[in-house]
Chain A
Amino acid sequence: MREVDMAIIGGGPAGLTAGLYGARATLKTVVLEKQAPGGQILLTDLIENYPGFPGGINPEELSKRMKAQVEEFGGEVIIDEIDGIEKEGNLWRVTGWENEYLAKAVIVATGSEPKKLNVPGEREFTGRGVSYCATCDGPFFKGQPMAVVGGGDSAVSEAIYLTKYASKVYLIHRRDKLRAEGIWQKRAFENPKIEFIWDTVVKEIRGDKKVRELLLENVKTGKMSKLPVEAIFIFIGMNPNVDLVKDIVELAPSGRIKVNMKMETSAPGIFAAGDVIEIAYEQVSVAVGTGAIAAMTAVEYINKNFG
């Protein structure tokens, strides 16, 4: 068991920023990450809208730098998977796969994970043509037709990325316009390899040993059609990872953690930041900002209650 001042759960941009601020406040700070530092950003190939990096920055490089900055001030980034948080007096006991931590303050920065379509064939063909990571799996389908589902930043930017490998990319969206940033829309509309299939949803993913075709439905006309593809990449939004704290802190109607402007949750000593909180914009810059706020509030809380 380890006694710490601040335990941060999740090592994405929000958690690592909180770790930096905790460490700089000279508090004993641990960032607990279940895989390796970086979080969701590691699924993309280049980050172009994080200020200070014209030309974009590689997400792996950004993660490494954020981690190094936590460590520069004495914070620790530990690989551990947390599966329980319990109150113990005025402290919180955080239980992990490897270790237990007793903390004065906890910052929940557990992020989110990709939503599933929940259609027949999706689970069966995951890893055999159904994917949630274009940079991981795009190269397996060189020269073949692929589909991307969604209309937000991830869907449109990953569709553009996949044109590096695909013979053609069909972008299937349930509405008749995109939600993605303007620059992504412009690039997608100008890309000759991308064909848009509007007002359409995927009803079924079919194949034999691997994906062969999609069954589509036009939501306006009700007309069904088949689309032959070798791969389908799904980017229809994210679900927050709240399982760990859903019985301890109040959630917002969206299912994310309810916080105030200081990133305080309904439980004293528990703060939250990043994609897991009730903020509509899943951006690195937003995650970083909320991580800083959560840590600064946690420092105030620790000074007041334990000082």
Chain B
Amino acid sequence: MPVDVNDKNFEEKVLRSANTVIVDFWAEWCTPCKKIEPILEKLEKKYAGKLTVARMNVEENPRTPASYGVRSIPCLIIFHQGQPRDTLIGLQPPSSIEKALRRFL
């Protein structure tokens, strides 16, 4: 299951994670964001142990999205060894997300 992260635990859960982490920036108001969830859950199962799926609510957590320039959701940012490596904006098909992730898995 995706882990919910916030401004406070972002560093611990994402930046210092041993896994590659894909962060799904979302908000209650964003219906398309909900379309990404089932895909991420499938990918998490497929790459269990190597990939962590994290979700951040941009309404409740203003700091982290702002520091990564998130001004459009759905937005997926892939973190690997503490650094943002790739950003996917807008609705994405499973193959594009997997392709972007593969380089780090």
Contact = CB atoms under 8 A, between A and B. Distances in A.
Contact of A36 (B29, B34, B73, B98): B34
Contact of B94 (A34, A45, A135, A137): A34
B95 A38 contact: no
Interface string A126-167: 111101110111011100000000000000000000000000
Contact of B93 (A35, A42, A135, A141): A35
Contacts of A81: 93-95
A220 interface: no
Interface stretch (B1-9, B37-45, B49-57): B37-45
A72 interface: no
Contact of B42 (A79, A133, A140): A79
Nearest to B30: A136
Contacts of B74: 136
B29 A135 contact: yes
A127 B89 contact: yes
A210 B71 contact: yes
A129 B71 CA distance: 7
B27 interface: yes
B35 interface: yes
Contacts of B42: 79, 98
B77 to A, nearest CB: 11
B68 to A, nearest CB: 11
Contact of A133 (B69, B70, B90): B90
Interface string A17-61: 000000000000000001110100011010000000000000110
A97 B97 CA distance: 12
A83 interface: yes
A128 B94 contact: no
B81 interface: no
B72 A127 contact: yes
B33 interface: yes
Interface of A: 34-36, 38, 42-43, 45, 59-60, 79-81, 83, 97-98, 126-129, 131-133, 135-137, 139-141, 209-210
Given A98-B94, A133-B32, A136-B74, 8 more contacts: A42-B31, A59-B31, A79-B38, A81-B94, A126-B72, A127-B71, A133-B30, A136-B31
A-B CB proximity, top 4 nearest: A127-B89, A36-B35, A35-B35, A127-B72
26 contacts: A34-B93, A35-B39, A35-B91, A36-B34, A36-B36, A36-B39, A42-B31, A42-B34, A45-B31, A79-B39, A80-B94, A97-B94, A97-B95, A97-B98, A98-B94, A127-B90, A129-B71, A133-B30, A133-B32, A133-B72, A135-B30, A135-B32, A136-B30, A139-B29, A140-B71, A209-B69
